[in-house]
Amino acid sequence: MHYTKKWLTLVGVLTVLAFVLAACPAQPMGQTQTVEVTREVEKIVEKEVVKEVEVIKEVEVEKIVEVAVEDYTTPHPILSDIVVRQAIAQCINRDELIASVYPYVSDEVKATLRMDTFLPKTHWAYSGPYTDYAYDPAAASAALEAAGWVDAGNGIREKDGTSLSLKFTTTTAQFRQTWAAVAEQNLLECGIQMIRLHTPASWWFGDTTGLARRDYELGAFAWVGQTNPAGRTLYACNQIPLPSNNWEGQNGMGWCNEEASQAIVAANNTLVQAERVAAYDIVQKAFSADMVSLPLFQRAEAEAWSLNLLNLRSDPTEYGTASAAEWELADGGDTVIVGFSQEPASMFSLVESAAVQRQVAQLSQGILSTQYSYDYQPVMQDGLSTIEAGLATNEMLEVKAGDMVYNVDGEPEALAAGTKIIVDGATVEYDGSSAVQLPQLVVTYKIKPFTWSDGTPASVGDMELSYKINCDKTSGATEFITCEAMQGVEFGPDLQAVVTYLPGYQDPTYFLTPIGFYPSHQVLADGRNLVDVPAVEWATLPEIAEKPLSAGPFVITNWVKGERIEMEANPYYEPAPKVQKVIIVIIADTNQAVAQLLAGDVDYLEKATLGAGAEVQTVIDAAAEGKVNVEIIPSPTWEHIDMNLYTK
């Protein structure tokens, strides 16, 4: 009786174990081994029954070792096949997509909008052409056929019982619905079914949903390109978001090409542009060859201005307002009228960074440097502070445990065992005891002498105040990356600051001054000196948020919220502006803005105001009749379809 009871207990143990294993799908490794089975299961460790005190008997069973599989580490049954990814690229007619959303764009402009990698062809870091996957549905279909993806009889291909059907997720924006419908039809002609899911932007771009959790198979959105191409968080192997790393990183494709990963890290940890170009070339070659993300096109932007307005400089990576000091009216007038669809919430740039704010600031506060044609040009900064110019050094420094350094993730950290740092271009983990050599940047930043719009010459105290406020965490600013990278700052003589950065900090844009200026001499309406006002109050100061003193070509004199911002020439700006007044009028409706331009009531419609919709055709037609100027610009913002290589 006792034996029978124990035998039933053994059967129960095995039954419980079977249910446990069934509930947790395993990747088993078969291995015959003698194990001891007891009367009851006390606990399970790594899916293996732990031996208990009372042994019934020894039996030969197959040891099951569970290999934990977390979300998005299982290769996608379709998108892990490079033939499919390349076929998707070849089956989508990007010219048709462009024409669907920009019907006014000529074939010549289409060619400038099409992309073959993640950088525009006019970017300094572009070394292509790269593998382009021209529209060729016949070739794509043949490749799919050869790879075993055959027509299932319903127009959709399948392989080993898997249908070539993919969910495509993006926003509900009409712009994307339009081009996605074209892509859907393109793919269907190749036997690829694309099931469109247009979701609210709040979900698609949410912190814990959509893209942030890799909840897609094909996913479409846009990246905003930059003069500094960056890219480490997008394409490095250690930037793949997973549950185990709390979904850190932006490499939602799950793309891990080791050579490309090392190159993207190297590209962002050297100050030599030639080395950066070579590293980005490696990444772009792998990116296009592996076809993990299909670059569709750069978004088109349009801006228009009257024939009367001269010297406006139109550029993909800089605002037209950057050229305002050179604006001139052919008829000799003294006032330029600019149409904006929105107005700034504040002129305090730490709390307001919208494009419209930056444009008004260029007019009314001054410009340290510009970014024409994906490059940098000093304006009020007295030359770019490069090593080549003798304004920076990057010497090796010995660091040891406990020293503050800049780690591989771009954060300050006390050096300790396990800290990841860049040594000789490679990512290494510090062993916790030895001394290592890291580069340390020391940079001298200079500002050209200038006079504030109230007639007061600028002083080094203005730079000191900028550093004090911009690095104060009560100011309302949302990021302090550069401030936290600074080990120390020394000011003077004159308008100069010498910044010593933490060892390991190797920002490729180190030569752009992170320290600007505020009028430290200014006395506020309430009698206080600006220099004495706590940072927490700055966002509410009218002298900061609404009518700041100017170091730029114009000064804000009147701001009627929701209607207009009036500016007059800064009498102390050199060289003096060629027009005396600039008035920004707020025109929310694009059709109305275009009508006012054509009627001569507005001189200039900037990119965001004119947009890229149907109204552009009206302006193009007017330009063809010689009535206005218009420029269609391939913007740095580019649409793409990412392919998630892994699944839950």
CB neighbour list of residue 308: distance below 8 Å, 6 or more residues apart = 329, 330, 331, 333, 600, 603
Closest CA to 489 of 507, 458, 514, 520: 514
Contact indicator for 178, 150 with CB cutoff of 8 Å: no
Q: Report the pLDDT value the prediction gives residue 648, as an integer from 0 to 100.
A: 85
Strand, helix or coil at 366?
coil
Half-sphere exposure of 439 (CA within 13 A, CB side): 15
Q: Answer whether CATH 3.60.110.10 is correct for domain 308-376+551-626.
A: no
CA distances from 294 to 74, 183, 353, 591 (A): 22, 12, 30, 34
pLDDT digits (tens, 9 = 90+) for 147-170: 999 998 999 999 999 999 999 999
The pLDDT-based confidence of 24 (bands split at 50, 70, 90) is: very low
Q: Report the pLDDT value the prediction gives residue 269, as an integer from 0 to 100.
A: 87
Instruction: Report the run of H or E that residue 264 belongs to, with start and end.
Output: helix 258-267
Strand, helix or coil at 306?
strand
CATH topology of domain 76-298+639-647: Dipeptide-binding Protein; domain 3 (3.10.105)
Name the pairing type of β-strands 604-605 and 74-75.
Answer: unpaired
> For the chain, which residues make up each domain, given as ranges?
2-62, 76-298+639-647, 308-376+551-626, 381-540
CA distances from 257 to 69, 171, 322, 531, 601 (A): 21, 29, 40, 51, 55
Contact indicator for 550, 563 with CB cutoff of 8 Å: no
pLDDT digits (tens, 9 = 90+) for 172-203: 999 999 999 999 999 999 999 999 999 999 99
What is the rounded CA–CA span in Å between residue 203 and residue 175? Answer: 18
Q: Percentage of the chain with pLDDT > 70?
A: 89
Burial 227-244 (b: 16+ CB within 10 A, else e): bbbebbbbbbbbbbbbee
Half-sphere exposure of 370 (CA within 13 A, CB side): 20
Half-sphere exposure of 211 (CA within 13 A, CB side): 21
Strand, helix or coil at 547?
coil
Q: Is 517 exposed, middle or buried (0-12, 13-18, 19+ CB in 10 A)?
A: buried
- What are phi and psi for residue 165, nearest 5 degrees? -125, 130
Q: Report the pLDDT value the prediction gives residue 409, as an integer from 0 to 100.
A: 81
CA distances from 362 to 324, 452, 503 (A): 8, 15, 34
What single-letter amino acid sits at 242?
A: L
Higher pLDDT: 270 or 86? It is: 86
Strand, helix or coil at 598?
helix
CA distances from 96 to 195, 197, 296, 511, 622 (A): 19, 21, 11, 42, 25
pLDDT digits (tens, 9 = 90+) for 252-296: 999 999 999 999 989 998 999 999 999 999 999 999 999 999 999
Instruction: Specify the DSSP class assigned to residue 245.
Output: G
Q: Per mean pLDDT, which range of 37-41, 131-135, 230-234 is the poorest? A: 37-41
Q: Is the pLDDT of residue 217 over 70?
A: yes
Strand, helix or coil at 100?
helix
Structure tokens at 579: 């027009």
Q: Report the pLDDT value the prediction gives residue 44, as an integer from 0 to 100.
A: 27
pLDDT digits (tens, 9 = 90+) for 457-516: 999 999 999 999 999 999 998 889 999 999 999 999 999 999 999 999 999 999 999 999
What sign for the dihedral angle of Cα 475, 481, 486, 492?
negative
What is the rounded CA–CA span in Å between residue 397 and residue 437? Answer: 5
What single-letter amino acid sits at 467?
A: Y
What single-letter amino acid sits at 563?
A: E
